[in-house]
Chain A
Amino acid sequence: MSTTASPPRVQTDLSVRIGSLTLTGPVLVASGTYGYGDEFGARFSIERLGGIVTKTVTLKPRAGNPPHRMVETPSGMLNSIGLENVGLKAFIADKLPKLAAVPTAILASVGGETPGELFRLVRALEAAPCAGYEINFSCPNVARGGARYWADARRLETTTRKLRTLTARPLIAKLTPNATDPSALARACEQGGADAVSLVNTFVGTAIDLERRRFVLGRASGGLSGPAIKPLALAQVHEVSGAVKIPVIGMGGIVTATDALEFLLAGAACVQVGTASFARPDAPMRVAEGVAAWCAAHGIAHVADLVRTVRVWGEGEEGDAWT
């Protein structure tokens, strides 16, 4: 990565505040792309991560969708996993205890088909060791309680308001990009008391097998992720971060530190690395290291100083070298 600027190297403050929680760095791993956080053991420097968002947990175990569940597409992939997970009971009994040893913040992703299911999940997890919650309001691959169901500002606001009464831990609302007005959904969560919104979840897409004349995916459509969606995600992060005061957690096709830094400039307070981990399991750590190195090389005192600092041409250019 280019580090052409040469102000004095500084010790950048990489911490990010989300509600009552201080993350040690601006790079997290996205739900469903790092399992439960214990799978790789001590193989990687997980302490470099600001946090791990676990695979979405639901009240009951879910077997997930029929195959095929994944197909690669140009610069991206479609997935249709369908919230396969071990269920709340096993998550608390078997998964969370192992995560206690992981040296980073553990954010539990929770998913429900109704508001009531989310309330039960959060109530049950309050006694369990996790630092906060990301509420999955945006899975595109389930018949009930998915992105379509939750793309309703009033439902989001009332649900978030009730969740707020159940926990003092950070509440992050993960939103769908498949909505006419993502900012309206984000504002609804803010008004309900969410500490942050995270976006984007995947874009609905499909792939077709010509000779078999069938959709490749077992459930016909899936969610598109990877570098293919990065420009779409950047635009949504910029738009939404201008519409709410709470932090926006940005994601969508981040593979390199450059990608991550662009999301910060667009308006993300911190970012999540998702699909890139499938290509290389050490990708999030490399992104985190790269972000820290770039900030130090560019004399950035606090990573928050970068957030939403992108400008349009002609804006504030008086001091620039070429004018």
Chain B
Amino acid sequence: MERAPEAVRTAFAQVDAEVLRNEPLPGTRLWWAELNAPADFPEPLPGQFVMVAPRLARASGQLLARPFSLARAVRSDGGWTLGILYARVGRGTDLMSRQAAGSWSVLGPLGRGFQVDHKGPALLVGGGRGTAPLVFLAEWLEARGRGCEFLVGARGQADWAGPEEMGVHLTRSRVWPATEDGSRGLDGRVLELFAREPVLAEALAAKGARIHACGPHGLLAAVGALGQGFGVPVDVSIEAHMACGTGICRSCMVPRAADGPKARKGQNESYLVSCLEGPVVPAACVDWARDRDSAPATAYEPLDIELGGALA
């Protein structure tokens, strides 16, 4: 019987990272930030995340940092350039969008990344801004002479976040777009690509294939089911309300599947700790039926509206 992943605690650091870029991705409702983390920031692996708090956070009464999967981590003079993709969905991300200069507090890299020891095709499936950690994974694989099939799904252009938009030019990989409004690539849901594209169906059937996915949990559940049907292992990057990012607070628990890989000694048999045993976990570990969407349903009203325009 397969065992659940072990908790991962790689070296991490709390650093002040200089904001090099922080702007909307043209034509979308998404934002792209690049930060320069100093040299003492440990090397991140694809799928790992960071806890981010902009300088304005403390002054405006925001207590906690926010978790983001790294979309890029490129060695640069004196440290790392970290890429973060985000949408303004709440106060934390609203504050981030308001600070284009200075530095942000960054804690990381944290958590368990994608498992890349498979010898067959790497199939990357991203939905919306869930493409972020997969862009890092694709770039990382290419730097090691490996390509991938990168399925990029979005509701429409406003949510489109492909590798090119994040400054990553893949040469050994193929990008397969799909949008639900048909504005780009396949007119439909991203997983339909497997039925429509013989090349992808072939890759799925190849020995040693593995699917790496990130996006809304509904998509991840569907990818998990697809992988199970084809006998292909599926890694998913999950998301949950998180306070600390370091396994202490026990907030970010995601229901563990009773019929999935067995919990190890010392692990909670009912829940996965997404910051330590994840964020990347085998899809079979998650009980999707008991899972609860952590995405905010209520549209965020920016601070300047709350304050009657006082800050605008």
Contact A81 B250 (CB under 8 A): yes
**Other than the known A63-B271, A70-B249, A211-B298, what 13 A-B pairs have Cβ atoms closer than 8 Å?**
A34-B248, A40-B246, A67-B240, A67-B241, A67-B294, A68-B292, A69-B253, A70-B243, A70-B251, A79-B251, A84-B271, A94-B266, A281-B248
Contact B63 A227 (CB under 8 A): yes
Closest CB of chain A to B100's CB: distance in Å? 23
Closest CB of chain B to A241's CB: distance in Å? 26
Of A66, A68, A72, which is within 8 A of B64 by CB?
Answer: A72
Across the A-B interface, the 4 shortest Cβ-Cβ residue pairs? A70-B251, A63-B270, A211-B297, A278-B244
B257 is an interface residue with CB less than 8 A from chain A: no
Residues of A with Cβ closer than 8 Å to B?
A: 32-35, 39-40, 63-64, 66-72, 74-77, 79, 81, 84, 86, 90, 94, 209-212, 218, 226-227, 275, 277-282
A63 CB contacts on chain B under 8 angstroms: 268-271
Closest CB of chain B to A233's CB: distance in Å? 15
C-alpha gap A94/B170 in the complex (Å): 47
Residues 270-295 of chain B: 1 if any A CB is under 8 Å from the residue's CB, otherwise 0? 11000000000000000000111010
Residue of B nearest to A95 (CB): B266
Closest CB of chain B to A143's CB: distance in Å? 16
Contact A278 B298 (CB under 8 A): no
Question: How big is chain B's contact interface, by range?
Answer: 35 or more
B62 is an interface residue with CB less than 8 A from chain A: yes
B61 is an interface residue with CB less than 8 A from chain A: yes
Closest CB of chain B to A77's CB: distance in Å? 6
B173 is an interface residue with CB less than 8 A from chain A: no
Contact A74 B61 (CB under 8 A): yes
B124 is an interface residue with CB less than 8 A from chain A: no
C-alpha gap A212/B249 in the complex (Å): 25
Given contacts A39-B248, A81-B251, A281-B107, contact A64 B268 (CB under 8 A): yes
Of A68, A72, A94, A209, which is within 8 A of B297 by CB?
Answer: A209
Contact B255 A86 (CB under 8 A): no
Contact B271 A70 (CB under 8 A): no
Closest CB of chain B to A98's CB: distance in Å? 12
B82 is an interface residue with CB less than 8 A from chain A: no
B53 is an interface residue with CB less than 8 A from chain A: yes
Given contacts A68-B294, A86-B266, contact A75 B241 (CB under 8 A): no
C-alpha gap A71/B252 in the complex (Å): 10
Of B14, B91, B249, which is within 8 A of A278 by CB?
Answer: B249
C-alpha gap A199/B242 in the complex (Å): 25
Closest CB of chain A to B278's CB: distance in Å? 13
A277 CB contacts on chain B under 8 angstroms: 244, 248
Of A34, A72, A84, which is within 8 A of B250 by CB?
Answer: A84
B240 CB contacts on chain A under 8 angstroms: 67-68
Of B63, B244, B250, which is within 8 A of A64 by CB?
Answer: B250
C-alpha gap A15/B75 in the complex (Å): 46
A34 CB contacts on chain B under 8 angstroms: 248
Contact B270 A70 (CB under 8 A): no
Contact A278 B243 (CB under 8 A): yes
Contact B292 A67 (CB under 8 A): yes
B178 is an interface residue with CB less than 8 A from chain A: no
B247 is an interface residue with CB less than 8 A from chain A: yes
Closest CB of chain B to A37's CB: distance in Å? 10
B53 CB contacts on chain A under 8 angstroms: 279
C-alpha gap A69/B299 in the complex (Å): 21
B271 CB contacts on chain A under 8 angstroms: 63-64, 67, 84
A69 CB contacts on chain B under 8 angstroms: 241, 250-253
B254 is an interface residue with CB less than 8 A from chain A: yes
C-alpha gap A64/B63 in the complex (Å): 24
Interface of A, helix, strand, loop or mixed by DSSP? loop
B105 CB contacts on chain A under 8 angstroms: 280
B270 CB contacts on chain A under 8 angstroms: 63-64
Residues 86-118 of chain B: 1 if any A CB is under 8 Å from the residue's CB, otherwise 0? 000001100000000000010100000000000
Contact A39 B61 (CB under 8 A): no
Given contacts A72-B63, A227-B61, A279-B64, contact A209 B298 (CB under 8 A): yes
C-alpha gap A277/B245 in the complex (Å): 11
Contact A33 B107 (CB under 8 A): no
C-alpha gap A86/B7 in the complex (Å): 15
Closest CB of chain A to B272's CB: distance in Å? 11
Closest CB of chain B to A68's CB: distance in Å? 5
B73 is an interface residue with CB less than 8 A from chain A: no
B243 CB contacts on chain A under 8 angstroms: 70, 72, 77, 79, 275, 278
B214 is an interface residue with CB less than 8 A from chain A: no
Contact A68 B107 (CB under 8 A): no
B123 is an interface residue with CB less than 8 A from chain A: no
Residue of B nearest to A226 (CB): B63
B151 is an interface residue with CB less than 8 A from chain A: no
Of A71, A74, A76, A278, which is within 8 A of B248 by CB?
Answer: A278
B297 CB contacts on chain A under 8 angstroms: 209-212
B190 is an interface residue with CB less than 8 A from chain A: no
C-alpha gap A76/B270 in the complex (Å): 27
Of B244, B291, B298, which is within 8 A of A210 by CB?
Answer: B298
C-alpha gap A84/B247 in the complex (Å): 12
Contact B242 A90 (CB under 8 A): no
B70 CB contacts on chain A under 8 angstroms: none
B9 CB contacts on chain A under 8 angstroms: 39
Looking at A34, A35, A70, A227, the one whose CB has the most chain B CB atoms below 10 A away is: A70
C-alpha gap A35/B247 in the complex (Å): 8
C-alpha gap A35/B246 in the complex (Å): 10
C-alpha gap A229/B83 in the complex (Å): 35
A210 CB contacts on chain B under 8 angstroms: 297-298
| A-B CB contact pairs (8 Å), 30 listed | A39-B248, A63-B269, A63-B270, A64-B268, A64-B271, A67-B240, A67-B271, A68-B251, A68-B292, A69-B250, A70-B241, A70-B249, A72-B92, A77-B64, A79-B249, A79-B251, A81-B250, A84-B271, A94-B266, A209-B296, A209-B297, A210-B297, A218-B292, A226-B63, A277-B244, A278-B63, A278-B64, A278-B243, A280-B14, A281-B107
